[in-house]
Amino acid sequence: MKSGIHPEYRPVVYKDMSTGDAFLTRSTESSRETVEWSDGATYPLIRVDVTSASHPFWTGATRVLDAAGQVEKFRRRYGGRHG
């Protein structure tokens, strides 16, 4: 690899703004905001809207769709038409 062309790969803290969960990982992303982690060190803080801690697919809090109600609505609207 060429030297001097790649961004710095360093530890950063990602914080989920909807749940407040935070985790330490490595990234090339940068931020002016910092946070002190449990190990006493200070790391850049990246605020995100959705992580695996709040995404419905990973939390199991998926919406239940009313498929039967949608079918009935469709039949009421278009059921009498043939063509």
The pLDDT of residue 80: 63
Q: What is the mean pLDDT of residues 30-42?
A: 95
Token pair 């200070």 is at which residue?
42
pLDDT tens per residue, range 44-80: 999 988 887 777 665 666 666 666 777 788 888 887 6
The backbone region for 57, taken as left when phi is positive above 0, alpha when psi lies in -120 to 50, beta otherwise, is alpha
Q: Where are the domains of the chain?
A: 10-78
More confident residue, 57 or 27: 27
